[in-house]
């Protein structure tokens, strides 16, 4: 009887662990599917912002801190659910709150949302992928983890990959939560303030009959300095590799 109870308890515990792994990721997938099923992506567009800019401005002016909190919450949820429209939302933040306040709110909100997605993915899928993938992922994981801060800063600074992709990959490569949060917070600052500044001048653009240029981040005058920052982020890793080469024992004549 005792052995049977122990088996039932063990099975119940395993089911609870499985539920805790699957449920959060299921919620995120369901939220993403619902976003497109309800056609909500039309509300995250320049046209929607232009049409509703006066109403949005009025809501922020009348509700102050509450409006800022709601915007931050929406931004964090959009990031956590990997919903499209991050650039539009950042422009909206700059438009409603100004470059500095809007940029700071976006950086904090995006970091919170990205960290939530990272933790869910690591808990639900990280261990499973490591078990199934064999030695290849272990080798990649070791190299990535040893230079995680440098790699992540580069991935955050230079928009080569979608934001959601960079949010997920570290969860499968053994990156620590602290490294992830720090690299995300610092790495998204330049791009965020570029788009927040663009939003801050949105009214002037609209009055002139123009739309904001979402590809502004790729202009040489903006991308150049960001690439410079990315190179600086790689310097510690380059230094470590050079030191390792120097410290290698010299090969003998035979």
Which are the contacts of 188, defined by CB distance < 8 A and separation ≥ 6? 107, 110, 111, 156
Report yes or no on 88 lying in a domain: yes
Which whole number is the average pLDDT over 80-94? 93
Residue % of the chain over a pLDDT of 70: 81
Which whole number is the average pLDDT over 59-80? 94
Report yes or no on 149 lying in a domain: yes
pLDDT at 254 over 80: no
| Residues 203-234 pLDDT 10s | 787 777 777 777 888 888 888 888 888 888 88
pLDDT at 20 over 60: yes
pLDDT at 46 over 70: yes
pTM for the full predicted model: 0.82
Length of the chain: 254
| Residues 108-166 pLDDT 10s | 999 999 999 999 888 876 665 555 555 555 666 666 777 889 889 998 998 888 888 88
C-alpha torsion sign, points 31, 32, 37, 38? positive
Report yes or no on 50 lying in a domain: yes
Report yes or no on 175 lying in a domain: yes
The number of folded domains in the chain is: 1
Which are the contacts of 120, defined by CB distance < 8 A and separation ≥ 6? 24, 25, 28, 80
Task: List the single range of 63-72, 183-192, 221-230 with lowest mean pLDDT.
Answer: 221-230
Scanning 81-161, the segments in alpha helix (DSSP H) are: 86-97, 99-121, 127-133, 135-146, 148-157
Report yes or no on 100 lying in a domain: yes
Which are the contacts of 108, defined by CB distance < 8 A and separation ≥ 6? 72, 185
Among candidates 129, 168, 175, 171, which has minimal Cα distance to 150? Answer: 175
pLDDT at 17 over 70: no
Which pLDDT score, from 0 to 100, does residue 130 have? 56
| Residue 149 lies in domain | 41-244
Note the Cα 180 to chain centre separation in Å.
10
Report yes or no on 74 lying in a domain: yes
Higher pLDDT, 71 or 4: 71
Which pLDDT score, from 0 to 100, does residue 12 have? 54
Note the Cα 174 to chain centre separation in Å.
16
Structure-block tokens of residue 202: 């949105």
Report yes or no on 200 lying in a domain: yes
Report yes or no on 20 lying in a domain: no
Structure-block tokens of residue 247: 């410290």
Mark 43-57 as b/e (b = at least 16 C-beta within 10 Å).
ebebebbeeebeebe
d(CA 121, CA 125) in angstroms, rounded, equals 6
Which pLDDT score, from 0 to 100, does residue 208 have? 72
């Amino acid at each position: 009887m005792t052995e049977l109870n122990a088996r039932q308890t063990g099975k119940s515990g395993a089911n609870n662990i499985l539920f805790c792994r699957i449920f959060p990721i299921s919620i995120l997938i369901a939220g993403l599917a619902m976003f497109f099923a309800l056609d909500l992506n039309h509300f995250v567009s320049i046209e929607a912002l232009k049409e509703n800019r006066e109403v949005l401005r009025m809501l922020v002016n009348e509700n102050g801190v509450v409006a800022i909190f709601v915007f931050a919450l929406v931004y964090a949820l959009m990031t956590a659910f990997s919903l499209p429209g991050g650039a539009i939302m950042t422009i909206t933040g700059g438009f409603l709150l100004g470059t500095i306040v809007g940029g700071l709110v976006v950086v904090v909100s995006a970091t919170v949302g990205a960290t939530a997605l990272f933790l869910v993915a690591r808990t639900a899928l990280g261990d499973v992928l490591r078990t199934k993938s064999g030695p290849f992922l272990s080798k990649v994981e070791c190299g990535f983890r040893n230079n995680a801060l440098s790699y992540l800063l580069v991935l955050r600074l230079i928009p080569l990959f979608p934001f959601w992709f960079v949010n997920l990959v570290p969860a499968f490569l053994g990156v620590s939560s602290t490294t992830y949060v720090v690299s995300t917070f610092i790495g998204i600052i330049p791009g965020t303030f570029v788009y927040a500044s663009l939003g801050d001048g949105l009214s002037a653009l609209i009055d002139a009959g123009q739309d904001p240029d979402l590809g502004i981040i790729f202009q040489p005058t903006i991308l150049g300095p960001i690439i410079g920052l990315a190179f600086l982020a790689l310097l510690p890793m380059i230094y470590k590799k050079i030191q390792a080469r120097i410290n290698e024992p010299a090969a003998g004549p035979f």
